[in-house]
Structures are given as C-alpha cells and as structure tokens.
Structure 1
C-alpha cells in the first residue's frame, strides 16, 4: 500500500472536519473559519489545500461517493454464491445501516447546489451512475451464472436505484425506527420483484 503524503493526510483531515461541522451547523453555516477553529489551525491553511468553498464541496461529494460505495463491500464476498452476494447487497441497500453511512442533512444540502453549479451537478450524476454501475455488474454476474434472466441489467439497476432514492427520501421523514424499517422492507420486496428474485 502506497504511503500517504502529508498533503493527502491534511486534506482528508480538513474534509472530515468539514463534514462533521456541516452535520452540526448545516452546510450553509459551515465556513473555513469554523473548520479552522475546530482543527485549531489558521483558515489560510485550508485555502492552501482548497482554493474556495466550491472546491471543498466537490471534495465532500467525492467523500460521499466513497462512503456510499461501501455498500458493495461484503465480507468474504469471494466465498459467496452470486445469489448470496446479491441478497447481501440488497439487504445493505435497503437498510438503516446504509442510510447511516452519510448524514442526510449534508447530502441534501449538497444536492440542492446542483441547480446552480454545473460542476456539482456533474459530480452528483457521476456518483449516482457509479452506484448504479456497481449493481449492474452484480446483476450481470448473476445472469451470466444462470441465476437470473435479466435482458437489460443496466435498466433494472436504474429501476432499483430509482426505487431506492424515493425510499430514502420518504424514510428520512419518518421518526419511528420501526416505521422506517417496515418501509425499507416493503421497498426491498419490490426491488426483488423488479430483479426477478422469488
């Protein structure tokens, strides 16, 4: 494994602190000064690594992608059948565990910026396409192994993620954990039907 440079370590530290402050203060209220105060450094050091707030937000969205990609990290995946692997991924996708990988408030605050910043819009699009691509690959493997009969894995992956996006949007409005889990389970059942799992 390549050794990280001091600059890479410092950038990650600034980014994770930006995220932590944004979770508490809200993205719109998080400034270089507040990040610097929490890190006990001068704001000018942050500017050394991130020219402006937009650049920092773009890096935060990439951090978001890296967090969400953990959904495909299944322990001992090589020891699982294609069916077991797919079921474990679906279990993680439609669970509060995945929802807790990244703060909804920060996510949706970043999301609103796509309407004013084309570069941020592109970053979000890349994030969603990469997640869909991960599921598409698993569906292709299952189809190739004869476990599923899907003619167009890319379309099915998009359908599952469209369902997933709507599910989490609504789940974030539910205050009772049991209600959240019930709704997630209903959506997972529908996703399995879309995929052709019985």
Structure 2
C-alpha cells in the first residue's frame, strides 16, 4: 500500500514538473530531459515512471481532469442543491478555469486529438467526466423540482457547448471589461436554460 502511494506521489510530481515546462516553453518543446533538469534528477528516473513523452502527456491530461473537477468541489459541498447548481454555473462561466490550468497547455494537448486516437479518447473521457459531474447536480435539482428542463442530458450538453465555445472565443478578447461582460452574458443564458435566471 505504501509503495503504491509513493509511486503515485512521484508520478504526480513528475507530471506537475512536465506541466511547468510545457507552460513555460510550450508542449512541443517540453522534453523528458527538460523535466529531469527542472527536478534535478536523472532522466532515467522519469522513464521509470513514464516510458515516453506520450505517456507523460496522457498523465498530463488526467491531471487536467483532476484540476478541472475542482470547479465542482470545495465550497459547493455545504450548499443546498439550487445554490450548488447556481454556484457551479457561475464557476463554469468565470475565470476560475484559468487559475486551475494554463489555457496554452490545455489547447496544445487538445490539438493532439486530431493526430492521435489515444489522446482523443483521453480528452473524450475528460469532457464526459466533467459533463457527468454537472449532469448529476442537474438531475438532483430536477428531482427536487428546482429546475424545469425536459432533457437533463441535452441541457447539460448545451451548457457545456456554451462553456467550451465561450472559452475558445474569449481567448481572442484582450479587453477585460468586454471579456467579463461576455462571460456574464453567457452565464445568464445558461441560467435561463435552467429556468434560474
């Protein structure tokens, strides 16, 4: 039991170092050697945990999922279902994503889905997991009569399409006021879809 947790801790440490290198130099320029240099260890130690850069990228995608799941946790646990749903929607349409993970690294990893079916499968799992977390709260709210949506899955999917499209588009906007205004507009539209505006 102790060995496994030590192995997991070491893997996470390597993934976080890989993330730092990718954030600073770009995913395409990140290498096992650069990660080893940052960690002040021999590259063979990284190869002990990750056979290749591709394996490390899969670990990085799982790390993205772990980070993004934080949108649904923490302060949300003490709220009732309606407050939790409103808080989650607020988090989805906030700058909180940007504090959890660097957009440049996220989109660099995402671009690999067009060339690598395994990366595509990992990203699909990531997105499906995030949608499921949102859907479960939405189902709970519907069961309690707090929202009036016909199809929970379809509504959840529409909101996530809005989130993903919003962040893609908002990455092009440098004006903070315009950025915040559009985020608020998208959040209000999502709440309207749920009948919570």
> What's the TM-score bracket when you normalise by the shorter of the two chains?
over 0.9
Residue ranges of structure 2 left out of the alignment (5+ in a row) = none
The answer to whether the 8 Å contact 1:32/1:43 transfers is yes
Q: Which runs of 4+ in 1 moved over 6 A?
A: none
User: 1:134 aligned to 2:133?
Assistant: yes
Per the TM alignment, residue 5 of structure 1 is displaced from its structure 2 partner at its CA by 2.9
Per the TM alignment, residue 106 of structure 1 is displaced from its structure 2 partner at its CA by 0.3
The answer to whether the 8 Å contact 1:74/1:88 transfers is no
Q: Relative to structure 1, is the Cα distance of residues 185 and 17 closer, same or farther in structure 2, using a 3 angstrom cutoff?
A: same
* Correspondences of 1:100-179 after superposition (within 5 Å): 100-179=99-178
CA distance in 2, matches of 1:148, 1:154: 13
Per the TM alignment, residue 170 of structure 1 is displaced from its structure 2 partner at its CA by 1.2
The answer to whether the 8 Å contact 1:136/1:154 transfers is yes
CA distance in 2, matches of 1:12, 1:27: 17
CA distance in 2, matches of 1:76, 1:178: 27
Counting matched residue pairs gives 196
167-176 or 14-23: which moved more?
167-176
CA distance in 2, matches of 1:76, 1:148: 18
Deviations 1:30-76 (A, max 9, x none): 00110010001111111010001111000100000000010101426
The TM-score with structure 2 as length reference comes to 0.95
CA distance in 2, matches of 1:168, 1:120: 21
CA distance in 1, matches of 2:64, 2:171: 17
What is the root-mean-square deviation in Å for CA atoms of aligned residues? Answer: 1.4
CA distance in 2, matches of 1:137, 1:90: 13
Q: Relative to structure 1, is the Cα distance of residues 140 and 76 closer, same or farther in structure 2, using a 3 angstrom cutoff?
A: closer
Q: Equivalent residue for 1:67?
A: 67
Q: Equivalent residue for 1:42?
A: 42
* Correspondences of 1:82-93 after superposition (within 5 Å): 82-93=81-92
Q: Equivalent residue for 1:185?
A: 184
Q: Equivalent residue for 1:30?
A: 30
CA distance in 2, matches of 1:149, 1:8: 43
